[in-house]
Structure 1
Amino acid sequence: MDFTHVSFDWSRARAFLATAETGSLSAAARELGLTQPTLGRQVAALEEELGLLLFDRTGRSLVLTPAGRALLPRARAMAEAALAFSRSAAGLTDEIDGKVVITASEFYAAFRLPPIIARLQRLHPGIQVEIRADNDISDLARREADIALRNTRPDNPELVAKRLPDDEGRFYGSADYIASLGPIERLEDLSRARFLAWDSDEALPRLLQGFGVATTAESFPLATRNHLVQWQLCGAGLGLGAFATPEGDRHLTRVPLLPAIPFPVWLVAHKDLAHSRRLRITWDLIAAMMPQLSAASSSA
């Protein structure tokens, strides 16, 4: 087949890419905001257009054929080019009104971003904000978000990052639960406490043992990766948890003797998007207000 004469349709290639990366028509359709029949027709039309079978269909499973595997890197390169085009267009405008997508951890999204967004919308009511509260790191390079608050420095050269003043966390519990533990005069006294774990890994036990608190498997009766659920469990007296200092001091009771836990805060965006006036305004306001809200600015 002479591919120089193919009238290429990017929407069909995008349907192929989403299907290949998600592994199913239904998941790809959800990702692209299409119905499954529509997406299936786009993939079938691409196969007919190219004269190639891109997927082997066995029941509900889709497996890339050798031809599909060979074309997948090309489709990804096209997607990257489309995103670069979109980023460049965003950087060429001085328009303020429009949408900004900010991603942050569940805790930051719930406690730190609301006063920042409130001020942003008072100053610039035309800026529409979407907040993605997720403890997983969104891919800024692929435009899953415009601006991110992270606790690790990104290593992608396509991203720009500004380190903000360090935050800090401490261990907290409800007043009743801490009182139920009896006098806490030595770190060893905390070995009888229950702690709220993130998951089944050993990070929290190692941290506590480093502080001098002996723990066993029974020390961690509850685990959740959702920080807001952990916050509610802690407030309900079900255990001790680690939270950022300003919020913990306002709403919970600080556990005696345990030291502060410092952690870095990074403000991140794609380097092309830094040229957008709307994003610069949002970036600058977050950079200015986060230090005022952080533990490092307010802890004793």
Structure 2
Amino acid sequence: MDWDDLRVFLAVARTESLSGAGKTLRCDAATVGRRVTRLEEALKARLFLRSPQGYQLTDAGQRLLPHAEAAETAMTAAGEDLGGTAGKISGQLRIGAPDGCANYVLPQVCAAISDLHPDLDIQIVALPRVFNLSRREADLVIGVSPPTAGRLTVQKLTDYHLHLAAHRDYLARHPPIRSTADLGAHRIIGYIPDMIFDKELDYLGETGAGPVRLGSNSVSVQMQMVRARAGIGVVHDFAIPGAAGVVKVLPDEISLKRSFWLIRHADDRRSDRMNRLAEALSEGLRREVARLEALT
């Protein structure tokens, strides 16, 4: 079985299309289609169901998938073993994260990793949704809750804290807030309710605050609304040091705690490169969250 054919198989399985696989592999869709057909003929098994909606794995394709992923891991490990220099890591690392972490914590963490490994290309994908590791949308994912299904390795990174917050100028122009009962007189900033992609992000139910009057599916947009003196919102403590004039509201009465989790594909445990990168990311994130929260 040709490794290049397995690479094509994995690309189609992850993108569910010939064109998507072609972009990943930097070749045309027709070539991808011929390679898939060649692999199916060699194995005497149909690997994909073709439809207008895309390419879906058959039972035979599902059985082949873990073997192809194991081959990919072995080839990557061989390249790392033969090509490594003085402990430096090169290549590409794509990190998926919710936009709060991606905006306020990861830039500093990734800058430090890049200083240690200047030939490493780091990409931060900040999206308010759950990432699909089986499709290799990212190499490492930071989540706000641990997944319960899939061939994944999950470890808790650190707790982080959130509070109601507003700009000092907003608070000076509006009725005082001495208890949660006073929140009803204020404009609330938060998530668009039907776009909350993880139950851990459903903050307002725990605060006693009223309905969302200014909403966004992005944490960073919500913070910009708070900075614009538009109202009161739940913000990450680690975001406050970078937002001049923003202060906590009722910190002794309302305090939320959540956790970040590092999520990896199970096969990546065999890769020394990925283990080292995961360790560097984990240590850096814990340290940066603790540093920023200590400033609030």
TM-score exceeds 0.5? yes
Q: 1:283 and 1:80, CA in 2 relative to 1: closer, same or farther beyond 3 A?
A: closer
Residue 223 of structure 2 aligns with which residue? 231
SS state at 2:124 partner: strand
**Corresponding residue for residue 294 of structure 1:** 289
Provide the secondary structure at the position in 2 that maps to 1:82: helix
Match of 2:175 in 1: 182
1:134 aligns with 2:127: yes
Kept after mapping to 2: 8 A contact 1:164/1:287: yes
Of 257, 260, 264, the residue aligned with 1:262 is: 257
Partner of 2:32: 39
- 2:153 aligns with one of 143, 153, 159: 159
Q: Tell me the amino acid that sits aligned with residue 70 of structure 2.
A: A
Secondary structure at the aligned position of 1:265 is classed as strand
CA-CA distance at 1:221 after TM superposition: 3.2
**8 Å contact 1:25–1:36 — kept in the other structure?**
yes
Residue segments in structure 1 that go unaligned for 5+ positions in a row: 1-7
Decide whether aligned partners of structure 1 residues 88 and 34 sit closer, same or farther in structure 2, where only a CA change above 3 A counts. Answer: same
Deviation track 1:161-199 (CA, whole Å, cap 9, x = no partner) reads 2x3442111122333433343211221111132323323
- State TM-score, norm by structure 2: 0.72
Q: Distance between the aligned counterparts of 1:104 and 1:32, measured in 2?
A: 25
TM superposition shift of 1:247: 2.0
Question: Distance in 2 between the 1:141 and 1:52 partners?
Answer: 20
Q: Identity across aligned pairs (percent)?
A: 26
SS of the residue corresponding to residue 294 of structure 1 reads helix
Check conservation: 1:151, 1:264, Cα contact below 8 A: yes
Q: Where does residue 103 of structure 2 map in the other structure?
A: 110
Of 233, 247, 250, the residue aligned with 1:241 is 233
The CA deviation string for residues 251-274 of structure 1, in whole angstroms up to 9 with x for no partner, is: 152342152211123345456656
- 1:56 and 1:270 map into 2 onto residues whose CA distance is 26
Q: Aligned residue for 1:4?
A: none
Partner of 2:208: 212
Q: CA deviation at 1:23?
A: 5.2
Determine if contact 1:47/1:54 at 8 Å carries over to the other structure: no
Amino acid in the other structure paired with 1:76: L
Judged with a 3 Å threshold, the aligned counterparts in structure 2 of structure 1 residues 106 and 181 are, in CA distance, closer, same or farther, namely same
1:97 to 89, 99, 102: 89
Structure 2 unaligned segments of length 5 or more: list them.
Answer: none
1:90–1:106 distance in 2 versus 1, CA, 3 Å: farther
Deviations for 1:102-130, whole angstroms, at most 9, x for unmatched residues? 33222222221222222233333233322
1:37, 1:111 → 2: CA distance? Answer: 43
- AA partner of residue 263 (structure 1): R
C-alpha separation between the residues in 1 aligned to 2:20 and 2:127?
20
Distance 1:271 1:227, change over 3 A: same
In 2, are the aligned partners of 1:80 and 1:142 still within 8 Å (CA)?
Answer: no
Distance 1:182 1:114 in 2: 37
Matched, 1:71 2:60: yes
Give, in angstroms, the shift of residue 141 of structure 1: 6.5
Q: Secondary structure at the residue paired with 2:176?
A: coil
Secondary structure in structure 2 of the residue aligned to 1:231: helix
State the alpha-carbon separation in 1 of the partners of residues 49 and 273 from structure 2: 42
Which one has a bigger Cα radius of gyration?
A: 1
> Cα gap change, 1:27/1:257 in structure 2, threshold over 3 Å: closer, same or farther?
same
